[in-house]
């Protein structure tokens, strides 16, 4: 039986509907449409004029290689898998709306850790989805069924890493547009005192026009860090003190290098990252190596995308206290004149 998971965006529905846990319980949607749909589902079948969509839809058969349908939606295709879970495109019964569903794909031994991660993601997305931002994936609701919790969110395009893996090369103007969207999303998170902590090409969706940040599994309130971070996208202060209040801008600089130069600013090999996700390099050696990489990348960025691009990159890779903020970056010459969407 589906179980409604409560979180902040459920406020759109009246209490008596929110608390009604019937087999027709409907996952949470926002606004008037949500209310209409919830009422439709609650009273479906009581009126002969209401089409019994779900009775028919329950017969939907699983598509090859995908899980069987839930009571609310059918799986259409796998969009991606990560350490935590699997994300599929889904079709919502009754409306045919396409959404993305994220759910834990790991074995039972890791379920507890995964549950904590999904709860964290749910809390963060609940905060960020209240008013929403065009460059963040928005939480649309949740569904718990047969001990699996599905996080339902808007469907984005393929990840930037899959664009890069397919050999896509971005022009400096396209990179500027992507960076503008990314930094605008980061600025919005910051205005809610949230940092993402995992900005990298895998976690950025791009449909050829709009960039959306996804995967809030490691996001936290500013200054706090979860232990599992991807070290070669982390600024020096995280590598030495495990704390930062401006690390998303550093990770964005790492992404800028990948998009413009087609390689990583700092590799795991250069950091000697071991199986325990530690880097054994001394702080001095590490900082020296990082400074060298930054100088080399800045030169190459200037050669291929101009002085303004290099200036922004340098601002994003400064020590934490003087690192450029999203607001300042959006005013920088490389970004200020760019359209917010693709060129």
Ligand X SMILES: Nc1ncnc2c1ncn2[C@@H]1O[C@H](COP(=O)(O)OP(=O)(O)OP(=O)(O)O)[C@@H](O)[C@H]1O
Q: Which of 69, 85, 94, 141 binds ligand X (CB under 6 A)?
A: 85
- Interaction with ligand X in 211-240: which residues (CB under 6 A)? 214-215, 217
**Counting contacts by CB under 6 A, is residue 203 touching ligand X?**
yes
Stretch that binds ligand X, among 83-91, 296-304, 320-328, 329-337 (CB under 6 A): 83-91
Give dist(CA 334, CA 183) in Å, integer.
Answer: 12
Q: Which of 57, 202, 302, 328 binds ligand X (CB under 6 A)?
A: 202
Closest approach, Cβ 251 to ligand X, in A, equals 13
Query: What tokens were used for 256?
Result: 């800028």
- Interaction with ligand X in 169-198: which residues (CB under 6 A)? 198
Give dist(CA 340, CA 343) in Å, integer.
Answer: 9
Instruction: Let me know: does 8 contact 138? Beta carbons within 8 Å.
Output: no
Q: Which of 19, 33, 50, 83 binds ligand X (CB under 6 A)?
A: 83
Number of H helices, E strands in the chain: 13, 9
Contacts of 187-190 with CB under 8 Å at 24 or more apart are: 187/325, 187/326, 187/327, 187/330, 188/128, 188/133, 188/135, 188/136, 189/128, 189/136, 189/213, 189/219, 189/248, 190/222, 190/248, 190/325, 190/326
Instruction: Let me know: does 210 contact 169? Beta carbons within 8 Å.
Output: no
**Counting contacts by CB under 6 A, is residue 79 touching ligand X?**
yes
Residue with Cβ nearer ligand X (160 or 294): 160
Stretch that binds Mg ion, among 38-46, 102-110, 203-211, 322-330 (CB under 5 A): 203-211
**Counting contacts by CB under 5 A, is residue 82 touching Mg ion?**
yes
Residues that bind Mg ion (CB under 5 A): 82, 202-203, 215
Residues that bind ligand X (CB under 6 A): 79-85, 87, 100, 102, 137, 153, 155-156, 159, 198, 202-203, 205, 214-215, 217
């Amino acid at each position: 039986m589906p179980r409604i998971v409560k979180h902040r965006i459920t406020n759109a529905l009246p209490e008596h509907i929110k608390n009604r846990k019937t087999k027709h319980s409907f996952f949470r949607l926002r606004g008037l449409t949500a209310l209409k749909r919830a009422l439709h589902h609650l009273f479906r079948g009581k009126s002969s004029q209401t089409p019994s969509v779900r009775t028919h839809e329950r017969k939907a058969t699983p598509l090859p290689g995908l899980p069987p349908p839930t009571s609310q939606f059918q799986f259409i295709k796998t969009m991606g898998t990560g350490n935590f879970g699997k994300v599929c495109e889904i079709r919502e019964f009754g409306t045919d709306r396409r959404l993305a569903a994220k759910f834990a794909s790991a074995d039972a031994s890791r379920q507890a850790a995964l549950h904590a991660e999904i709860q964290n993601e749910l809390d963060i997305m609940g905060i960020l989805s209240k008013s929403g931002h065009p460059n963040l994936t928005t939480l649309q609701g949740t569904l718990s069924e047969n001990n699996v919790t599905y996080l339902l969110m808007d469907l984005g395009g393929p990840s930037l890493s899959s664009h890069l893996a397919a050999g896509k090369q971005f022009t400096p103007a396209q990179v500027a547009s992507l960076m503008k969207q990314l930094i605008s999303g980061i600025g919005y998170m910051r205005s809610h005192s949230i940092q993402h902590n995992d900005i990298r090409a895998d976690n950025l969706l791009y449909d050829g026009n709009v960039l959306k940040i996804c995967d809030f599994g490691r996001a936290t309130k500013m200054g706090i860090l979860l232990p599992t971070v991807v070290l070669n996208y982390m600024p020096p202060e995280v590598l030495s003190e495990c704390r930062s209040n401006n690390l998303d801008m550093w990770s964005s600089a790492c992404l800028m290098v990948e998009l413009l130069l087609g390689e990583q600013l700092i590799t795991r090999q250069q950091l000697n990252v071991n199986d325990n996700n530690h880097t054994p390099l001394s702080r001095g050696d590490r900082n020296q190596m990082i400074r060298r990489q930054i100088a080399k990348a800045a030169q190459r960025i200037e050669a291929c995308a101009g002085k303004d691009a290099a200036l922004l990159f340098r601002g994003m890779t400064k020590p934490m206290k003087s690192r450029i903020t999203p607001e300042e970056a959006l005013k920088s010459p490389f970004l200020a004149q760019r359209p917010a969407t693709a060129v």
